[in-house]
Amino acid sequence: MDDVVDAVPTWLSQYPPPRRHSPKRWVLVGGATLALLLALGVGALVGSQIATSQAAAATTGGSNLSGAGQGPGGPLSFQAPGNTLAGTPGPSGKCEMLTVTAVSGSTITAKAADGSTVTVHTTAATRYTQNGQSATLAAIKVGSRISVMGTHNSDGSITASSIDIA
């Protein structure tokens, strides 16, 4: 029976002492954490300054920043300069639906929700969609609800590049 007690190797009963982490490691981890927090703080500050200046430009009639965060398509509008949605943007930045009051040849007259009249000129290049499918000018009838994308003309009318029929 004495042989059984000696069967356990001695190296299993001798664990190495736990490793202590050097103070340099903690300084490095703390420095990296501080740098990350500083970068996040600076990013938040710069972002808020940009948003404030864009909001000020939008409310004071500043330059059109279409594609740079402010525009008729909402917070991120990637429309080409000069192309805007018909009607006036609502409080959430989305375009109003227009209700067609007359169709005469290639000219559509419509009313916005605020009662203003909008004249829309179409061309051979105007694209029409209805329920996600291709459509034609003939699909637009008095009473139809439409969204128009195009170029605002100096007389207040819009030359449509595309019209979505609801």
Domain ranges of the chain: 22-59, 83-165
pLDDT at 79: 45
pTM: 0.46
- Alpha-carbon distance 15 to 37, whole Å? 40
What pLDDT was estimated at residue 108? Answer: 93
- Spans of the chain below 70 pLDDT: 1-18, 21, 53-96
Tell me the per-residue pLDDT of 125-147, one tens digit each, with 9 for 90 and over: 999 999 889 999 999 999 999 99
Quote the radius of gyration of the chain (alpha carbons, Å).
33
Spatial distance between the Cα atoms of 56 and 43, rounded to a whole number of angstroms: 20
Topology annotation, domain 83-165 = OB fold (Dihydrolipoamide Acetyltransferase, E2P) (2.40.50)
pLDDT of residue 71: 44
